[in-house]
Amino acid sequence: MSEPILEISNLRRLFDVSKPWLERFIAREPRQVLTAVDEVSFSIHKGETFALVGESGSGKSTVAKMVVGLLQPSGGTVRFTGVPEGERPRPGMVQMIFQDPYASLNPRWRVADIIAEPMIVTRARTGARNDAASRAARVAELLTLVGLSPKDGDKYPHQFSGGQRQRIAIARALSSEPEFIVCDEPTSALDVSVQAQILNLMRELQERLGLTILFISHNLAVVRHMANRIGVMYLGRLVEVQESDALFLAPKHPYTRLLIDAVPNLAEIGRDRVPVQGEVPSPINPPTGCTFHPRCPVAMPICSRERPVFREGAACHALTPQARAAE
């Protein structure tokens, strides 16, 4: 396998969600801190697609925002290969494709200006050629690359369908010639038929341009189609990381098994399914020990006392012979 392009180590992100000081003083309430991401560690190798999955509120998008620099970590490190620790990657090296293609595009700008904007910013910082003619030629090339016409550059975002707008967002992300792209649920706002077109386009572009992708999604069917490796998050923690095929064939963590069991499968119509029970606990006051134990079908007493160690691709007491023997 190629060398890691991104290494994340013990990443944490806390949010202070306390009431104003005076209200807390009168009510004699302490500060409240929400732990959105808690000691997450993984690496992504050059040319692969690594996916993060989990229920809403699991911390997937918060990790993505820390990777691209939209949020600063409360602890831990995000390090790109070749970039000194504490410094950011070169301008344009990391780009992001957002969930809603209409909300992420400036409605007052023409498509050509939207796609050219990253070139103007990154080329000015790197000293590369940055004249209007070279930018126009690159915009036409990118529009063709994503399956649109160069003439579409004269139009505005509202003149396109949802799938076409996401193609424009992809072209914009590619305009700075990135090496690493973060996709934050890029197809969840699209129809199913359009989702397949966008996903196939992204895979084709990845192979052609040698891109590395961090793919955020709650849709396991989409993730299975896109990812080489998958990380499963629950309440801010990483509970399992496996190769895509291995994870779907033999999931190790009970939470992963329940998520996969909830995916519709025509071959298993009529089979009894076990849904994920209960609600996700509050990240302000998470359960002690393993945070999944209140909903886990195989929970043991040790699960409520001790936090499981991440080993052999998963963090679960049920996978540890010593823990099972002790119970």
Q: What is the mean pLDDT of the chain?
A: 86
168-187 burial, b for 16+ CB within 10 Å, e for fewer?
bbbbbbbbbebbbbbbbbbb
Distance of alpha carbon 112 from alpha carbon 107, whole angstroms: 12
pLDDT above 70 as % of the chain: 90
* 177-181 average pLDDT score: 91
Q: Are 222 and 205 in contact (CB under 8 A)?
A: no
What is the C-alpha end-to-end distance of the chain, expressed in Å?
39
Look at residue 326 in the predicted model and tell me its pLDDT: 52
Give the containing element (helix H, strand E) for 237. Answer: strand 237-243
The token pair that represents 97 in the structure block: 């494709």
pLDDT in tens, 284-310: 888 888 989 888 888 888 888 888 988
| Residue 100 confidence (pLDDT) | 85
pLDDT digits (tens, 9 = 90+) for 259-288: 888 776 655 555 666 666 667 788 888 888
Residue 207 identity: E
Q: For residue 179, give the nearest of 54, 10, 2, 61 by alpha carbon.
A: 2
Highest mean pLDDT among 5-14, 252-261, 269-278: 5-14
79 and 94 in contact (C-beta within 8 Å)? Answer: no
Q: Could you tell me the two tokens for 150?
A: 């160069």
Q: Give residue for tokens 């992963």.
A: 256
Lowest mean pLDDT among 67-81, 197-211, 261-275: 261-275
Looking at residue 229, its pLDDT comes to: 94
Please give the angle made by the CA atoms of 152, 154 and 157, to the nearest 5 degrees.
70
